[in-house]
Structure 1
Amino acid sequence: MSHPKLFTPIQLGGITLPNRIVVSPMCQYSADDGSMSDWHTVHLGTFACSGAGLFVVEKTNATREGRITHGCTGLYTDHNEQAMARAVQVYRAITTNPIGVQIGHAGRKASTHPPFRGGKALAAHESPWRTVAPSPIAFGEGWHVPHELTTKELSDLKDAFVASIERAKRIGFDVAELHSAHGYLLHQFLSPLSNQRKDEYGRNRMKFPLEVAAAVREAWPKERALGARINATDWADGGWRPEDAVAYARELKRIGLDFLCVSSGATVPHARIPVTPGYQVGFAQQIRDAVAMPVRAVGMIVDPRQAEDILASGKADMIAMARAFLDNPRWVWHAA
């Protein structure tokens, strides 16, 4: 075995991953009102054959209005749950390796076209829906101005996250993670670029994301694993900073989350992101060192030697990849 650290098991909560290679969540834009299609069954089946220690299902939305596009998955109806359960059943028939799901809400970045159709906001004739956010600030020019969520609506949204996680529990996922990165709703509350409220949810920008995390932690079984994807920086002046991410990570650990996936950017369209190989690894190491909990590194990691070096040097505990697996679904086999 040429890359021994990559193939060392790791414990996350009550789950053991057979290796430290993770298939990142990848939106497929192929759902029907949140329900997975045959495309998803093939997608999950493909990566069930990959040998990765964990496969994480794409960002799955807690409410219908939380979808990025018409084709995004959700866990807000019984039909959503049944369709996803069928796809997961196929995955389980192929491998015993753990499978996870990412739960989130797009907030002001909802009601758009998929990236391969331009990624812009839906027009009036394209069946758009109301977007919501901490503050009525559009993501960018030409985007929908979101409705500012009321305190009652925030309580309802927290309940929706819990209802989705209960559905994920019934489906039988081993791992769940909250999406509080990439400028989606939970991250919109964290960033001063998108949260300019004057109430308690603006004075303490972590308040709503931590309320959701605590409620989900209470609902999710301890014998499984629960984590979060977080942003280390917005890459924009006046935005979320690495020191903010460390403070947030400490609170998530206090609540009882088992791991973090550290990413960055996508909060505002004008972010200046210096994309280079492994450009987010330093953030993963900073949070790992400060908080002492298992951390996944993600972003422009494509080579087994690069991945092994990140783990062997103590910069992260797991490696998450998407593009590398799209290019080569047998990446794990070749790395071994």
Structure 2
Amino acid sequence: MRTICSEDHRLHFPQAELHAGQFVTPFERPSRVEYILARLRERGLNDIAAPDPVAMAPIRALCRPDYLAFLEHAWDEWKRAGCAGEIIPASFPARRMNADRAPTNIDGKVGFYALAAETAITAGTWAAALSSAAVAQTAQRIVAGGARAAFALCRPPGHHATADMFGGYCFINNAALAAEAFRADGVARVAVLDIDFHHGNGTQDIFYRRGDVFFASIHGAPEHAFPYYLGYSDETGEGPGEGANLNLPLPPGAGYGPWAEALDAALARIRAFGAEALVVSLGVDAYKDDPISFFTLDSPDFLDAGRRIGRLGLPTLFCMEGGYAIEAIGVNAVNVLEGFLDA
């Protein structure tokens, strides 16, 4: 299995995240990639390459043009406004406020395009987000070219990003970009399986009214877990997408037993959907020691999860998402890949 990774991920490294009422070093940081790369090499998965140049046309087709313009120019606007620190949203178009007009002032504009306040933008964020998209695009082309699987070691991650909002450490939705690429390649039906602890709200939002891309997510129950406002089991799609959205929320303390049952249910639905290609949003923050989740999976569980996914027998692209127990992230992510290869 080839891994695609870009050194440009390092360009995005905010120095602060607002968490539990204080500023902390962000949980999503460059060292996550280093632990995964080290584990890949340790396990002999040494086929690691840089991405091809990013293709902007598919990104423009996925995202609203005003949102992309915001991401590209936000840092320069922020600095021209005399702001000294990193870009952190401070005001939002909440209920009964106008959510259809972006302010001209950069402070208001940031809140207009943000879905949460934990994700900062730095001077290198736009370049890093594009490099992450390029990683997903390159890995998808490998699978579309006939490989059984590829691993897009994306950073920043993507599954919380919508077509017009950033947050949850995400700016461009890499998994959605890859699913769209499979469709453009002529794959009639694509499935996106999100095993990150946090609900893939952005991916759901992008495909919610479509019947050609099936989305399944196993995640912490939204009444208890970020992103809080999507991810309930009664969200099943709308219009042509009715029945093509499956949310499997689980309560605090859930272990591998109920999690594996949810995974099997998702895989059964993907089979019934008739998917011809699979994109896995590979988050490993369901791990028992993750600092911002409440599931209790252990490292061997990720190996078994990979085997179950592998038994689908579909061309599969893994896109890296979350996982914040830094010293265990390499073992857990690579366990999924090894389990898949063993299936």
**Do these two structures clear the TM 0.5 threshold for a shared fold by scoring above it?**
no
TM-score between the two structures when normalised by the length of structure 2: 0.34
TM-score between the two structures when normalised by the length of structure 1: 0.34
